[in-house]
């Protein structure tokens, strides 16, 4: 068993599950979102992105691209949250919450694509 592949797969799958956990719930209800869930989803996605650097295959490039898309979506969601709480001072209103969840859902789609590519790559692997 290759420890590098285990760690790589672990972070890809963890990034998806944390993102799913954040998105799950009512889209306009601020009570269904927790700032730490978004924070941990961002951190794990950034770690997964760093692990994808250095891969020189075509599927590795797609892995990296999907991870960068997920990072951008989650960072944009965090920016909307920061704007709503600290700049506007209104807090996470239903409108802001819907924007945060929508951007995070886009990141979730990129994470799902990454996990699907990981499974395809695993199935195609020959010893």
Q: How would you write the pLDDT of the chain (127 residues) with one tens digit per residue?
A: 788 889 999 999 999 999 999 998 777 778 888 889 999 999 999 999 999 887 778 888 899 999 999 999 999 999 999 999 999 888 888 888 999 999 999 999 999 999 999 998 888 876 5
Give the pLDDT score at 127.
Answer: 59
pLDDT at position 7 is 92
In the prediction, which pLDDT does 16 show? 95
So what's the pLDDT on residue 100? 93
Residue 123 CA to residue 23 CA, distance in Å, equals: 29
C-beta contacts of 93-102 below 8 A and 24+ residues apart: 93/30, 94/28, 94/29, 94/30, 95/28, 96/30, 97/27, 97/28, 97/29, 97/30, 97/33, 98/27, 98/28, 100/33, 100/38, 101/23, 101/25, 101/27, 101/33, 101/77, 102/27
User: pLDDT per residue over 95-126, tens digit each?
Assistant: 889 999 999 999 999 999 999 999 988 888 76
Residue 81 in contact with residue 38, Cβ under 8 Å?
yes
């Amino acid at each position: 068993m290759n420890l590098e592949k285990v760690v790589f797969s672990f972070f890809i799958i963890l990034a998806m599950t944390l993102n799913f956990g954040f998105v799950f719930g009512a889209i306009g209800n601020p009570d269904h979102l927790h700032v730490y869930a978004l924070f941990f989803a961002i951190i794990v996605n950034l770690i997964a992105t760093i692990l994808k650097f250095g891969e020189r295959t075509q599927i590795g490039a797609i892995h990296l691209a999907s991870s960068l898309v997920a990072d951008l979506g989650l960072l944009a969601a965090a920016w909307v949250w920061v704007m709503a709480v600290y700049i506007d001072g209104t807090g996470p209103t239903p409108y802001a919450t819907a924007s945060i969840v929508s951007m995070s859902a886009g990141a979730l789609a990129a994470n799902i694509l990454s996990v699907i590519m990981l499974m395809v790559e695993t199935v195609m692997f020959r010893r």
